Every structure is written in structure tokens, then in C-alpha cells.
A = this chain, B = another copy of it.
Amino acid sequence: MAKKEITIKDIAQQLNVSVSTVSRALSNHPRIGLYTKERVLSLAQKLNFRPNPMAINLKNSKSRNIGIIIPELTKHFYSQLITGAEAIATEHGYNVIICQSHESTHKEEKLIEVLLNSRVEGLLICIANETVDTGRFLKIKNTPIPVVFCDREMANLNISSVITNDYQGAFAATEYLINKGCKRIAHLAGSENIPNSQSRKQGYVDAILKYGLSYQKIIYTHYLTHQVQVAMRQLVLSKPRPEAVLCYNDYVAFDAIEIIKEYELEVGKDILVIGFADEPIAQYMTPKLTTVKQPVWEMGKVAMQMLLDELKGKKESEVPCSRKLETYLILRDSA
């Protein structure tokens, strides 16, 4: 049944005018007779005419597409980020093309290539955890399209970025614990070479220092592995035992809580636990998790807005631009 898509040419013929007239009528051009315009508009309406975006894009040499690369769509963090980014893009008439690197640097490179080939007008990238070599991104600098990094910035690359203030989040959480009277606060950190982990660790350390506490204990773990449980077991058994533990993220906190329960200690009383991120699971744990919330949705919005600004030729002087979004503590039952 595939009825042929109707074009401005069809309209022109039926009305005995030229295609340019139709084009003008449709695009609200000033120099056109009111009567002709009406005729065109009403026929277009009647025929259910929809301009062919492929033609328009070719004509303008613009794809109106923004590429987004994230590690994993099924992680709540990223789907939230994308929801924010997409809202802004749509608002400005852009589509987003979402690609997943599945945390592989190699795939990441491929995707950049593919997206460039498909002529995206801008790129929003959440670098894979695995990625450390900034060198690979130098080629991006040579593309004419704007790039914005999200959630993780790449040092010395001079590319815009939006991240959350991990340092401040960890600092505030630690401070909260201290104010609650905890003297011995441990930190289950993330991998040592991940910048986000480093910042959180530093926030923790500086808070400890600020209040002159003598106890300080940091254990690096790779979350979602057994390392966390091993580390936590070690903490529970250490003497004196910490009164609180600040976790790299909510998953780490979950494992920590399991161990605490295993030793029949009470979470939120014998040992306070604070997570990071406010994943949905934070509300579904028992006890419900006190955690540092990152404004992920907003981060997506801000990043996309920044990208569009660069796209529309903001003054060079303001590029690259870095923004750090504040986090805040959500108080629940674990601390």
C-alpha cells in the first residue's frame, strides 16, 4: 500500500505554481502573496504533507543529530543522564543517537568513528571506566564538532566537561558522620586510578583532617567483586572497629551492610553506613541507605545545553568550559 510520500513538487503541480513558491509558503517567507500562501498551506494540510528531513539536512549539511556515548544504558545512572540530555536536545530540535561502549575503550573509539561518519553535530561522552589513555581523545580535538565530557573529565585535554562534585559530596558525608559523633570513620574507596574515586577519597581525607581525627582508614576495592566483602570483614574485625564507613557507591554500601549483618551488628547504630549515587536500590535495601545523591538528570541537561551552546558558536573564549555540580546528602536509615 506504501503510498508515495508527497513532496512540495506535488503541491506545486496541483496548484500550478513553482516549487519555490511552495517552499516559501511553507517556510513562512515574507515575500509571498497571502492568497497563494493560504492555498499552499491548506493543500499541504489536506495532503498531509511532511517535509522530508533528509532533503533538508542534505541541503543544510546538517544532520541535527547529537551522538551520545555511555558505558551501559541499563545502569540507572546513565539512563537518567540520557533522559536529561535528550530532553534538552529534543527541545532544540535535535535527535540523539545513543551508543553504548560497554565499558570498553576499544568500542568507545569505534563509536566515535561511527558517529563522526554519520555526521553528528556534537558529541556527549561518558568515558568508560577502563579508559585512561587521554591520547586517544586527541583525535577528537581535531574534529570540527564540539565535544562535552560527562561525569568524568579528562585532564589536560581542554575539552568541556560537566561532572559532579565528588570531593564535596564525600567531604559533606564525612562531616555529617563526624557531627554525629563518630570518631572512627573508614572509607571503602573505589579503584585507585579512577578520578572519581580519587576525589571522593580526598573529600573523606580532608574532612578527617579538618576535624583533627586520628583515625583514618582507606581500603581500595573494585566494586561488584568479592573485594568489598573481604575489606568490610576486615574492618568489622579490626580493633577498635570503625563506627562508620563511607562507601564509594551504593553497591559497595550494600555489600558492606551484608557483612555487618553477618556479624549481627546493627547498621545505623553499631556501624553507620553511607553510600554514594542514590541508585534506586538505595531505597530497597534494609535498612534504607543514607547516600550522597548526584544530580544526574541535571548533569545530562547541563551537558547537552553546553554542547548546543558550543554548537551554536558561543564565543571561543568560553570554550572549553567546566562545570561541577553539587551533590547532597539524602538521610535515610543507615546513618
Chain A residues at the B interface, C-beta cutoff of 8 Å: 1-3, 5, 50-55, 57-58, 61, 63, 73-74, 76, 79-80, 82-83, 86, 95-98, 100, 116-119, 142, 144, 254, 261, 280-281, 284-286
Question: What are some 27 contacts across the A-B interface (CB < 8 A)?
Answer: A1-B144, A2-B144, A3-B144, A5-B61, A52-B58, A53-B63, A53-B117, A53-B118, A54-B54, A54-B58, A54-B119, A55-B58, A73-B73, A73-B79, A73-B83, A74-B76, A74-B79, A86-B98, A95-B97, A95-B118, A97-B97, A261-B286, A281-B281, A281-B284, A284-B284, A285-B285, A285-B286
CA distance A51 to B58 in the complex (A): 12
CA distance A188 to B179 in the complex (A): 44
- The residue that A281 contacts in the complex, of B95, B117, B280, with Cβ under 8 A, is B280
CA distance A83 to B70 in the complex (A): 12
- Which residues of B lie under 8 Å from residue A119 when comparing CB positions? 5, 52-54
CA distance A144 to B80 in the complex (A): 34
CA distance A198 to B145 in the complex (A): 51
- Which residues of B lie under 8 Å from residue A50 when comparing CB positions? 116-117
* Oligomer copy total: 2
Residues A254 and B76 in contact in the complex (CB < 8 Å), given A53-B118, A54-B57: no
Smallest CB-CB separation from A95: which chain B residue?
B97
A74 touches B63 (CB 8 A): no
Residues A100 and B83 in contact in the complex (CB < 8 Å), given A54-B119, A280-B280: yes
- Which residues of B lie under 8 Å from residue A100 when comparing CB positions? 83, 86
The smallest C-beta distance from A147 to any residue of chain B, in angstroms, reads 13
- Which residues of B lie under 8 Å from residue A98 when comparing CB positions? 86, 96, 98
CA distance A76 to B286 in the complex (A): 21
Smallest CB-CB separation from A279: which chain B residue?
B280
Nearest 9 Cβ contacts at the A-B interface: A2-B144, A281-B284, A54-B58, A286-B286, A50-B117, A74-B79, A54-B57, A73-B79, A79-B79
